[in-house]
Amino acid sequence: MFKSHLISMLVFSGIVSTIIAFIRHDDKAKIKKEGIKLFLYMSIGIIAGSWIINFL
């Protein structure tokens, strides 16, 4: 789909974090806050995991 695996993983984490936020909360503000928080956690995990795998 994308030429970069990193971009594919970031798009996937954005979709997943949005879905999880919608499932967990009903309030719009809480959905937005939770979605952003989950996206940042997943993005940091993707970058850290990629960096660790690169040096193994």
pLDDT tens by residue, the chain, 56 residues: 778 888 999 999 999 999 999 999 999 999 999 999 999 999 999 999 999 998 98
Does the predicted TM-score (pTM) go above 0.75? yes
Q: Is the Cα dihedral 18, 16, 2, 50 positive or negative?
A: positive
How far from 45 is each of 3, 16, 21, 29, 55, CA to CA, in Å? 20, 14, 18, 24, 16
